[in-house]
């Protein structure tokens, strides 16, 4: 009898899995919307798609508390330093979604003033195709990020003793 109680009431896990589970279900996105994709991203927050279902609705434009940068829209050469600064202000661990053709490749703006892919300057974890991507595509990217978060290792962030 006691043994049965124990079986149904005790859960064993590792600290790493528990932390990753918490992180993956409480992502804090920092949107960097510069064009139409930024408007499309707003639809992701609305009732029909509603990313709060995935615990990722805390959007307060505060890089120091964010762990997911969503680049939504074309990025000009003038804006890239700002984007890099925001990325650097975000604490580790952090992830990046490149939303839409413009952020990922420059899209149709093959000009000297538009960055032809933000991954030339900051690491991108997930690309969302489309011009503009559908909100469902952004939700899919969120699920992909959650998969990555689940596989995070504490050891990747270990601070070395050697100076
Ligand atoms: S990918 Fe399309 S919708 Fe998105 S910013 Fe570029 S032109 Fe606009």
Predicted pLDDT at 128: 97
Pocket test for ligand 1, best of 101, 106, 134, 141 (most atoms within 8 A of CB): 101
Q: What is the mean pLDDT of the chain?
A: 92
pLDDT at 7 over 80: no
- DSSP letter, residue 55: T
- Identify the weakest region by mean pLDDT among 21-35, 112-126, 127-141, 147-161: 147-161
CA distance 121 to 137: 23
H or E element that contains 145? helix 135-150
Closest residue CA from atom 6 of ligand 1: 102
132 CA → ligand 1 middle, Å = 5
Q: Is the CB of 138 under 6 A from ligand 1?
A: no
Taking residues 41-52, report their average pLDDT.
Answer: 91
pLDDT at 2 over 70: no
Say if residues 32 and 72 touch (Cβ distance below 8 Å): yes
Q: Which residues pair with 43 in a beta bridge?
A: none
Confidence of residue 4 (pLDDT cuts 50, 70, 90): confident
Predicted pLDDT at 163: 54
Say if residues 45 and 57 touch (Cβ distance below 8 Å): yes
Write the pLDDT tens digit of every residue in 60-110: 889 999 999 999 999 999 999 999 999 999 999 999 999 999 999 999 999
- DSSP letter, residue 77: T
Closest residue CA from atom 2 of ligand 1: 131
Write the pLDDT tens digit of every residue in 118-146: 999 999 999 999 999 999 999 999 999 99
Q: Residue 99 in 3-state DSSP?
A: strand
Length of the chain: 163
**Residue 2: what are its φ and ψ, rounded to 5°?**
-60, -40
26 CA → ligand 1 middle, Å = 28
Q: Is the CB of 101 under 6 A from ligand 1?
A: yes
């Amino acid at each position: 009898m006691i043994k049965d109680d124990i079986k149904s009431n005790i859960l064993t896990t590792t600290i790493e899995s528990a932390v990753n589970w918490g992180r993956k279900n409480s992502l804090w996105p920092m949107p960097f919307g510069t064009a139409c994709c930024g408007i499309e991203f707003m639809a992701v927050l609305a009732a029909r798609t509603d990313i709060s279902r995935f615990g990722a609705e805390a959007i307060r434009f505060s890089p120091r508390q964010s762990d997911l940068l969503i680049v939504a829209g074309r990025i000009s050469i003038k804006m890239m330093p700002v984007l890099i600064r925001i990325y650097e202000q975000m604490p580790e661990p952090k992830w990046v979604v490149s939303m839409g053709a413009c952020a990922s490749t420059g899209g149709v703006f093959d000009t000297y003033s538009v960055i032809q892919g933000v991954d030339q300057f900051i690491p991108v974890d997930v690309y969302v195709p489309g011009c503009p991507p559908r909100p469902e595509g952004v939700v899919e990217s969120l699920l992909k990020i959650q998969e990555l978060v689940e596989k995070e290792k504490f050891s990747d962030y270990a601070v070395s003793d050697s100076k």
